[in-house]
Homo-oligomer: A and B are copies of this chain.
Amino acid sequence: MVKPLDAPESFRTLLARRDLKFTYERRRILDLVQHLGRHFDADSLYARFKRRKERIARATIYRTLPLLLEAGVIQKSAGMGKGDFFEKTSARGHHDHMICVHCGKIIEFFNEHIEREQKRLCRKYKFRLTFHDHRLFGYCKKCQA
């Protein structure tokens, strides 16, 4: 298993390392992102805050996302739409995806041999893994016709 990472912790650590402040807004964004289901983009976060009457500017979200990214709290998740998509990095319940390039179907998979090899590779290169992105593209059973 990948070492479970404590998101709030790694975010605060990053801020501290850079002499940045843990503001109210950054905390709210961190919280929201953590309690969110799967994919999201900058605007959907903004919309949620707005719906709850929390006044957080789009710019603040756009400025915070890269920090969460670097802290490893979230990861980019290539959407098929426009703009960037992200998702929470979850060590537990981790799985990867097969994506049908024709119909868009997504199959989730988890393979411990692969996870194990990843860790081995990281040791070999002295690389400290925070999260990963593994996607297989091709044609699902139905679309092979």
Q: A residues touching B (Cβ–Cβ < 8 Å)?
A: 69-70, 72, 75-76, 78, 98, 100-102, 107, 109, 111, 113-114, 117-118, 121-122, 125-141, 144
Residues on the B chain within 8 Å of A69, using CB = 101
Residue of A107, A122, A137 with highest tally of chain B CB at under 10 A? A137
Take A69-B101, A101-B69 as given contacts and tell me if A130 and B139 are in contact as well, using a CB distance cutoff of 8 Å.
yes
CB pair A134 B137 closer than 8 Å:
no
Residues on the B chain within 8 Å of A111, using CB = 117, 121
CB pair A137 B133 closer than 8 Å:
yes
Residues on the B chain within 8 Å of A140, using CB = 125-127
CB A88 to nearest CB in B, in angstroms, measures: 14
A39 to B87, alpha carbons, bound, how many Å?
Answer: 23
A109 to B138, alpha carbons, bound, how many Å?
Answer: 22
CB pair B102 A70 closer than 8 Å:
yes
Closest 10 CB pairs of A and B: A126-B141, A130-B138, A129-B138, A128-B139, A132-B136, A134-B134, A128-B138, A133-B135, A113-B117, A76-B78
User: Which residue of chain B has its CB nearest to the CB of A136?
Assistant: B132
Can you identify 14 A-B contacts, CB atoms within 8 angstroms? A70-B101, A72-B101, A76-B78, A98-B121, A107-B127, A109-B125, A114-B114, A126-B140, A126-B141, A128-B144, A129-B137, A131-B138, A133-B135, A133-B137
